Amino acid sequence: MLRAYVDQRPPVAYLDRPLPIAFAHRGGAAHRPENSWAAFEHAIGLGYTHLETDARATADGILLAFHDRTLDRATDRTGRISRMSYRDVAGARVGGTEPIPLIEDLLGAWPGLRFNVDLKDVSAIRPMMDVLRRIRAWDRVCVTSFSARRLHAARALLDRPVCMALSPAGVATLRLTGGVPRCADLLAAKLARAGVHCAQVPLQVATPPFVRSAHNAGLQVHVWTLNRREEMERALDLGADGIMTDETVMLRDLLTQRGLWPS
């Protein structure tokens, strides 16, 4: 049975879009070089309002939209980003053709869009908070990380609340206690105080009990990274509130067929 998305009420401005939310993972890496201006522009041209990217800082504190620890795999240069100055990194080209965007430039270029930003290392935390402060992009960013310590450190530097995703430790706690009514109520209150409004998980975690527990705790469930149609359909049928994909055309077409793509 399909979920009635139209009756949902988003808890924060970042999530103030009709459900389910479509996220262009790394800008939509199936169609353009990942985390590149070309990828983000392509996704926006398709109608995406939420763009997923990653944050890494150079040795001199410049915040890049880049996934890997090193330049080696994704660009035409090599080296560990955290040990390089921005001047040394700036000449690298993603896929051999595209410059690496700055997080600040992406946020500034599209002030009406939302960005899901994964903090990939500790050195990215303070520069990310500084960018949010300068651009006043508090309501347009969801801060995520695979590290609870990084999320805690980011929260300590915030001047005002920002949407955050549940940490892996939080996901484990929700799986263990979310089905117990009193635990769910306590967890919901704790998460609300911490600014946590969504759980972003792989499809194998997004079971019906987990989705139900997350919703009971006041969280949206965003599933990553789904690049096959059958996976996308399964997540939608489970009641997922969002899907992240590299295959941005495929997801748009599927949601359009289901009458779920916003006009």
Cβ atoms of residues 2 and 254 within 8 Å: no
Q: Tokens standing for 76?
A: 């035409």
163 beta partners: 142
Cβ atoms of residues 226 and 196 within 8 Å: no
Cβ atoms of residues 74 and 68 within 8 Å: yes
d(Cα 224, Cα 222) in Å, to the nearest integer? 7
d(Cα 111, Cα 244) in Å, to the nearest integer? 21
Q: How many beta carbons lie within 10 A of that of residue 109, not counting itself?
A: 13
Q: Tokens standing for 44?
A: 């926006």
d(Cα 10, Cα 139) in Å, to the nearest integer? 13
Q: How many beta carbons lie within 10 A of that of residue 37, not counting itself?
A: 19
The one-letter code for the residue type at 262 is P
Active site residue 152: no
The one-letter code for the residue type at 22 is A
Active site residue 25: yes
Measured CA to CA in angstroms, residue 139 lies from 145, 210, 214, 222, 228 at distances of 18, 27, 22, 18, 31
DSSP single-letter state for residue 62: P
Out of 31, 67, 152, 215, pick the active-site residue: 67
| Rg, C-alpha atoms of the chain | 18
Q: Give me the count of residues in the chain.
A: 263
| Catalytic residue numbers, as ranges | 25, 67
